[in-house]
Copies of this chain bind each other. A is one copy, B any other.
Amino acid sequence: MNASTGERVKIREVGPRDGFQNEPEVIPTEHKVRLVECLARTGLERLEVTSFVRPDVIPQLADAEEVLQRIDVPPGVSLSVLIPNERGLERALAVCERAGRSLFHEVNVFLSASEEHNRRNVGRSIAESLAGLERTVARARAAGFRCEGVISVAFGCPYEGRVPPERVFEIARALRDFGCEEIGFGDTTGMANPRQVGEFFERASQQVPGVELTAHFHNTRGQALANVVAALDAGVRSFESSFGELGGCPVPRGATGNVASEDLVSMLHEMGYETGIDLARLLACAQAVQELLGRPLGSHLLTAGPIDWTGRAD
């Protein structure tokens, strides 16, 4: 708890990609556009809008081009798209070309820290993924985009168990050397604990210098905010989260996804950090998506509301 009051923390909202992708029903494009525009007016600096994955595999995001073309967001919000491979990048570049302008600012690429998770997720070995991502990042940077490389199951893998941090750092250095300016570390299935997270990021800042380090926690076992505190203590100042606690696997009911953006922002503000985000507006976005989806979401703020220090309860 050493940070000085008012220190800035960056948040990337990933709900429109990570959340919408995992919904059993495809969300109509008009609702996606409305929610992205609502989120973009909360003061968020970073917003992952969609992904150029194969539409036959993930029909939930088949409207990536249309969403990007239709959204109207204020300047200053850095929009990113998730890109699985060169073909996905080509689709993303093509839609910008047709529009005659860049429709986003950042390209996020990803792979897994374990061979088995990577094989099941993208059908490649880690070495094959890295070779493809090197070309993808080079082309994205040549087109003027900032790149983030995301490493899934960085704190533990359901198929391989413990993942050696050395292996994660090695992959992170490769992504950095390809040109990624930011590396995200994902606790994809909620296996990380605060002690592990603290030790990991203290080492990561030494092992992977010269790049922004971002933490992406899932609240699968209720530890997401505890892991955020450990990461803050280790110097991390960039996080990814999802409004309403969307994402992860929504079945069974209650199996939670990414840490809820509004729960994260509430805690950070209470701790004296600045995010630039208007919590009431963010909560309104979460309420809107909860209403749209028609089921209670995992976010705590959605139920409890923000903390009221005025003492006017009742």
Q: Which of B191, B194, B219, B271 contacts A222 (CB 8 A)?
A: B219
Copies in the assembly, this chain = 2
Q: Is the CB of B267 within 8 A of A233?
A: no
Q: Is the CB of B221 within 8 A of A267?
A: yes
In terms of DSSP, what is the predominant structure of the interface of chain A?
loop
Please report the C-alpha to C-alpha distance between residue A255 and residue B223 in the assembled complex, in whole angstroms.
18
Min C-beta distance of A249 to chain B, whole Å: 10
Q: Which of B162, B270, B296, B308 contacts A253 (CB 8 A)?
A: B296
Q: Is the CB of A309 within 8 A of B162?
A: yes
- Give 9 A-B pairs besides A1-B194, A160-B311, A254-B296 with Cβ atoms closer than 8 angstroms: A1-B199, A1-B230, A156-B309, A159-B314, A161-B310, A193-B270, A219-B300, A220-B300, A222-B263
Please report the C-alpha to C-alpha distance between residue A302 and residue B229 in the assembled complex, in whole angstroms.
24
Chain A's interface size range is: 35 or more
Closest to A191 in B: B307
Q: Give me the interface of A with B, judged by CB distance under 8 Å.
A: 1, 116, 156-162, 189-191, 193-196, 198-199, 219-226, 228-230, 233, 252-256, 260, 263, 266-267, 270-272, 296, 299-304, 307-311, 313-314
Please report the C-alpha to C-alpha distance between residue A260 and residue B195 in the assembled complex, in whole angstroms.
19
- Chain B residues with CB under 8 A of A300: 219-222, 254, 256
Q: What are 11 A-B pairs with beta-carbon distances under 8 A?
A: A158-B311, A158-B314, A162-B309, A189-B313, A196-B270, A221-B263, A221-B266, A222-B301, A223-B267, A225-B226, A233-B233
Min C-beta distance of A177 to chain B, whole Å: 29
